[in-house]
């Protein structure tokens, strides 16, 4: 499956690996798994990581990451878990310095921005594909690689609970545990640890919740002033959709948060009836059927107008999807 990418790896020495900006567990997990595997092959390889949540600072090797390309040119860029060129952590300049580019991903494919890609939209995590890639490379999956891949799979499957989870996902998780993945510690550090500020942020998100379409749509907005007053970083202010969508009858949960830059990040989750990858793409973003997002563009309009456009469009989709 990965022959072409493996050929590219064989022909390259100076390699960068990059996930997406605002990285989640799958982005970081797949980036570092590829990084460690290629290092074992003797490649001159560097992982790229831009601003990330404090949640991930416990991870080994994380300090080895670069946030930009140091060379004028390099041989190969391996992109993982990155649905579009605009969202790649390595940035436009870093991307353009690559002689060749490849992608290993599981997002709804918008357009091809690399020379060679392996994309499987059916898989719940890029880390699952990367597991297969590393096996095909014939590199032994040691406990560090296993831990990164396990983290990627665990986070993107909601701890193996999302419907995207496949029998193969469990099978690979078993192999990773066999290889020494520190699954219990990873779960504790990622799923069961939060700052006090984050707890207050959750309270605010719930207090500000709005309901639309017979409460099938739940919406909350948090401004940056509130987020920073709780001493929560941009990256740590994620995940509020989880609470909204947990309420029974919710079809779409929407969380809009103002970033320190003033940008409005829209995060959406669907119960399954509405394809929100389509919604996100209409508004210039992307993602998966049940988890998608975009940056709200309020140039030439207002937040209220854009919010209404989004809710109206989702209303139409709700009607369509129920009728269909």
Which residues in this chain contact Mn ion in the complex, by CB under 5 A?
24, 26-27, 81, 126, 156
Which of the residues 289 through 318 are near ligand AMP (CB under 6 A)?
291-295
Could you tell which of ligand AMP, Mn ion, none binds residue 251, using a CB distance below 5 to 8 A set by kind? Answer: none
Q: Using CB under 6 A, which of the segments 168-176, 190-198, 207-215, 286-294 binds ligand AMP? A: 286-294
Q: How many other C-beta atoms are found inside a 10 Å radius of the C-beta of residue 135?
A: 15
Q: Shortest distance, CB of residue 318 to ligand AMP, whole angstroms?
A: 19
- Is 23 a residue that touches ligand AMP (CB under 6 A)? no
Q: Which position among 38, 285, 307, 318 is part of the footprint of ligand AMP (CB under 6 A)?
A: 285
242 binds ligand AMP (CB under 6 A): no
- Cα–Cα distance between 228 and 231 in angstroms, integer? 5
Do 30 and 152 meet the contact criterion of CB atoms below 8 Å apart? yes
Residue 91 interaction partner, one of ligand AMP, Mn ion, none, beta carbon < 5-8 Å per kind: none
87 near ligand AMP, judged by CB under 6 A: yes
Q: Residue 287's binding partner, choosing from ligand AMP, Mn ion, none, with beta-carbon cut-off 5 to 8 A by kind?
A: ligand AMP
Number of chain residues interacting with ligand AMP (CB under 6 A):
14
Question: 3-class DSSP state for residue 211?
Answer: strand
DSSP string, 148-186: HHHHHHHHHTTTTTSTT--HHHHHHHHHHHHTT--HHHH
Work out the angle between the directed axes of helices 126-136 and 167-178 (0-180°, nearest 10).
60
Closer Cβ to ligand AMP, 46 or 85, answer by number:
85
Residue 244 in contact with residue 208, Cβ under 8 Å?
no
Q: How far is the CB of 276 from ligand AMP (least distance, A)?
A: 9
215: contact with ligand AMP by CB under 6 A: no
Shortest reach from residue 115's CB to Mn ion, in Å: 21
Q: Which CB atom, from 43 or from 288, has the smaller least distance to ligand AMP? A: 288
H helical segments located in the chain: 3-10, 25-40, 91-96, 126-136, 143-156, 167-178, 183-191, 196-207, 224-229, 241-245, 276-282, 303-323
- Least distance between ligand AMP and beta carbon 87 (Å): 6
Q: Residue 75: what are its φ and ψ, rounded to 5°?
A: -75, -45
d(CA 200, CA 323) in angstroms, rounded, equals 40
Residue 174: φ, ψ to 5°: -60, -45
Q: Return the closest-CA partner of residue 256 out of 288, 216, 283.
A: 283
Of 83-91, 94-102, 139-147, 169-177, which segment contacts ligand AMP by CB under 6 A? Answer: 83-91
The reply to whether 107 sits near ligand AMP by the rule CB under 6 A is yes
Binding interface with ligand AMP (CB under 6 A): 83-84, 87, 107, 267, 285-288, 291-295
């Amino acid at each position: 499956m990965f022959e072409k990418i493996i050929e590219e790896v064989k022909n390259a020495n100076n390699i960068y690996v990059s996930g997406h900006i605002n990285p989640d567990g799958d982005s970081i997990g797949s980036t570092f798994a590829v990084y460690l595997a290629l290092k074992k092959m003797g490649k001159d390889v560097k992982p790229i990581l831009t601003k990330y949540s404090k949640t991930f600072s416990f991870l080994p090797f994380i300090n080895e990451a670069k946030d930009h390309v140091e060379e004028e040119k390099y041989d190969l860029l391996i992109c993982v878990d990155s649905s579009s060129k605009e969202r790649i952590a390595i940035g436009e300049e870093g991307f353009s310095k690559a002689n060749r580019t490849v992608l290993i991903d599981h997002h709804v494919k918008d357009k091809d921005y690399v020379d060679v890609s392996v994309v499987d939209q059916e898989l719940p995590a890029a880390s699952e594909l990367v597991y297969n890639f590393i096996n095909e490379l014939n590199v032994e999956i040691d406990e560090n690689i296993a831990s990164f891949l396990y983290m990627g799979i665990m986070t993107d499957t909601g701890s193996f609970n999302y419907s995207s989870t496949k029998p193969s996902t469990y099978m690979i998780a078993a192999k990773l545990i066999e290889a020494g993945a520190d699954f219990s510690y990873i779960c504790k550090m990622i799923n069961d640890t939060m700052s006090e500020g984050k707890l207050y942020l959750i309270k605010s998100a719930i207090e500000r919740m709005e309901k639309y379409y017979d409460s099938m749509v739940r919406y909350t907005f948090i401004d940056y002033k509130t987020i920073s007053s709780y001493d929560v970083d941009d990256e740590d202010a994620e995940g509020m959709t989880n609470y909204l969508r947990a309420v029974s009858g919710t079809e779409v949960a929407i969380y809009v948060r103002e970033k320190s830059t003033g940008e409005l990040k829209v995060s959406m989750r669907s119960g399954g009836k509405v394809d929100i990858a389509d919604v996100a793409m209409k508004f210039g973003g992307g993602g998966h059927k049940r988890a998608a997002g975009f940056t709200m563009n309020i140039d030439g309009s207002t937040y209220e107008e854009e919010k209404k456009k989004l809710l109206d469009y989702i209303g139409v989709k709700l009607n369509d999807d129920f009728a269909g």
